[in-house]
Amino acid sequence: MKVLLCAPNEEELRELYWQQGLSLQKIGDQLGVCLNTVRNWMLLYGMERRTLKQAHRFRNGGDKCRKCGVNLPDYKPYTKAGRLCAPCRKQYWKDHQAPIEVRRARATNWRRRRRITTSDGKGGQIHLIGEKRPYTDKCEICGRPPKTLLHYHHWDNSNLLKGLWLCPTCHHAITVIESYGQAVYGKYIIIKDLVEKEVENHQNITMCTK
């Protein structure tokens, strides 16, 4: 540590603070005084303090890219990559992030394993988070591999392990059956009988006319 014999003049203090970019603490350590003493000198000389943005600039290498050294007049300090120009920042994220396909696959796999969207019984939807059964490559009813992702059909909101992986066609059919059940099937049988009787009567009338 340097032992201070006399206080630095304004030019020396400005050189340390503005040109070299040292903090008050580092200036105090270099001159052998405490931080408050350096602050009092700056008040005595009427020196301006750095703003937060300027402090970030000095901390990350001044007004130049810390990798290639080009000037950066319009620097935005609040970035995880630090003080980088646009090409270097792009390369940084390319080197430190997984490819977009991998990130999408991770998100899809998480939703496929843990998240499900279901009806709340009032015309809306709710999102449930829980452990599902392991994903399969084929529909568990028809056994055909789907052209899109399988749907997870469950019947207990408190336990998502109670469910099946179904293709969109089977999932729609099961949903309709569970929603309307025997009411739709009974109505279908009644209409079917009426249509058969109507067709038979029409055919009988046609035969009698001939």
pLDDT digits (tens, 9 = 90+) for 50-93: 887 677 666 655 566 777 777 665 545 445 556 677 788 778 77
Q: Domain residues for 136?
A: 116-180
Q: Give the CA distances from residue 123 to residues 151, 154, 183, 184, in Å, rounded to whole numbers and listed in that order.
A: 20, 18, 20, 20
**pTM metric for this prediction:** 0.38
Residue 99 lies in a domain: no
Q: Is residue 167 one of the residues assigned to a domain?
A: yes
CB 27 within 8 A of CB 16: yes
Q: Is residue 6 part of a domain?
A: yes
Distance (Å, whole) CA 130 – CA 142 = 26
The backbone torsions φ and ψ at residue 57, rounded to the nearest 5 degrees and listed phi first, read -60, -50
Into how many domains does the chain fold?
Answer: 2
In this structure, is residue 140 part of a structural domain?
yes
Could you tell me how far CA 140 lies from the centroid of its own chain? 31
pLDDT of residue 124: 75
Beta-bridged to residue 24, according to DSSP, are: none
> pLDDT tens-digit profile of 132-167?
888 777 888 888 887 777 888 888 888 888 888 888
